[in-house]
A and B are shown apart, each in its own frame.
Chain A
């Protein structure tokens, strides 16, 4: 676009905003308005029908933090994040590293590793529930093992991590694969000329070049780990004994199943604020980094 005269400049600038208008309208109705309402409502007493019947001050928050089930769900979420994010990064990076060089048979591995993207979350969760159902599960039947599956707290968490990896695998694999393949071949050839090969080439040249993409997959995994609830609803319903009741699953039972508006608004506002702070920090850091360049 050309910016010649003042009037034309403002015209173009305004036109740009015009393009944004539909997106802003959608965001305002479906995102900003509910967010602001949640935050306001979290300081009020709201009945199940949604009518405001009084002022609560900080009571809703106080109640949330005095609920043992909520405090426990924070622990469960933290455990899941600590197990899932590294495991997911390792597995997807490993798979994409081993299959990164294009060859005539690449299509086989690519086909296998891409397909998880096309399978729905609920189908995977149901499948996992059947495979790992308890000691009489399909898995134990086939292999003669005695893995307790989702019938014990530890087993349930392990199965949830496996399921999480399956759900994220397809997309992460595609991202990493594209990153590996888009490395300029001249860089790799130059490194080879300098005598780098095998492990050194991979670890000191290729991985640093796809660092940004790895970071993206880590952030995606982190986001999924924090927000995980749908697979839990299908796989374990938070059980056994609340061992897989993450913060979002707790939110689901309280807000959707029990219609507890106090918890609903307080927790939603908190998560929203945390996400907002997180995103702002990330944006500021990124800006600074760009400025340094």
Chain B
């Protein structure tokens, strides 16, 4: 009889999980629920929640729409989960992801493009739109723009009469001055921390000779790229040669995780990070004043400026509620709240004209650095759409560190080319 009881129990458990699995999407009465998966962390998450709450209490209440926002980890974690949920009922209505999602989303049968939702995008930044435009149309609605920035310990730089570096060579000089070593020869303060990877390289390589690409087909935007071009154009090599100067100072830390934390703890004098981290970094750097500047140029002819990055909203449900929510999130006022709270550059051009944002920039000049950098950049500068993006992200780090530790430069470049080309080849065969 024991067996029977066990089987009964098993069946009950099984049926119970079935009930829960299907009951997930239940919503009360006539209220349409719009589920958003986002990646805002730290103080950015608080701002996002307040925007959502404001919607639910105003527009949402009027139109019977309720946003449920769920934090799903970093932007790449959101993509992982979206991919895993594709084709199931747990796919959200809207997901906030970044450019790494673009290649997957172009082929996703579940994506609803912004064009088909019929959203008016005339007030959205052109560079933002172009960074999410593919052959299929506008894949996602840009939600926040950001630029890579050079964060430095301004108190320390000032005390040594150093100014923010304009080129990597100048940066190497600053690193040699700001680094510190203990008696045992170990770094107690790095002059710079972090290893550039895909995101940083799209600016370091893209800005060379006015405008360069890492991959053909305009970094994969005009259809999937067919090969890497940074080898034959010599742009990656030019970057590596300059970067070696920073490494050779001996005050360079090759850490790949927790770099901004090391910076805010005062254990590194400079770091490269997205402008989206500005608010968090300023808030957590208690012992010194934070300075920011645009990314140091590889050389004098690297005048392209910086790549626009940042998140966009990908839709998976086609209805009025989703359209209303998306329009609300990129409206001039909401963009002002979001940008002032996070340091992101607004994607709505009308936001720059609002009194509140003007006043905000006047009071917080650090926030102006990113928008100035973006607005003065070559609009052709674009992020990289490459398959196997994560694997390539890690490969770049390993590749660069191997070079810094003495590997041959030409072999380093061609090894990286091969890795990318083979990922592209696999992808093209499959899709």
Contacts and interface: CB of A to CB of B under 8 A. Distances in A.
B303 interface: no
Interface stretch (A2-10, A46-54, A103-111, A267-275): A46-54
Given A46-B430, A47-B431, A240-B257, A69 B395 contact: yes
B401 A241 contact: yes
Given A48-B107, A48-B431, A136-B267, A239 B426 contact: no
A22 B390 contact: no
Contact of B426 (A53, A63, A135, A253): A63
A261 B261 CA distance: 36
Prevailing SS type, chain B contact patch: helix
Contacts of A22: 7, 10-11, 14
Interface in A35-59: 45-49, 53
B394 A48 contact: no
Contacts of A68: 419
Interface string B64-84: 000000000000100110011
Contacts of B107: 47-49
Contacts of A45: 429-430
Contacts of A19: 3-4, 7
Contacts of A134: 255, 257-258, 261-262
Interface string A112-151: 0000000000000000000001111000000000100011
Which of B107, B256, B267 counts the most chain A CB atoms within 10 A? B256
A220 to B, nearest CB: 23
Contact of B394 (A46, A135, A239): A239
Given A136-B261, A237-B257, A146 B430 contact: no
B257 A150 contact: yes
Interface residues of B, number: 44
A48 B398 contact: no
B225 to A, nearest CB: 15
A48 B430 contact: yes
Contacts of A26: 14
B257 A257 contact: no
Given A45-B429, A136-B262, A257 B80 contact: yes
A258 B258 contact: no
A19 B8 CA distance: 10
A236 B83 contact: no
B83 A259 contact: yes
Contacts of A239: 256-257, 394, 397
A254 interface: yes
5 contacts: A239-B256, A240-B254, A240-B256, A240-B257, A259-B83
Interface of A: 19, 22-23, 26, 45-49, 53, 63, 66-69, 133-136, 146, 150-151, 236-242, 245, 253-254, 256-263
Interface of B: 3-4, 7, 10-11, 14, 76, 79-80, 83-84, 104, 107-109, 184, 186, 254-258, 261-262, 265, 267, 387-391, 394-395, 397-398, 401, 419, 422-423, 426-427, 429-431
> What are the 9 tightest A-B residue pairs by CB atom distance, in nearest-first order?
A258-B388, A257-B390, A151-B255, A240-B256, A241-B398, A47-B430, A47-B431, A253-B390, A136-B265
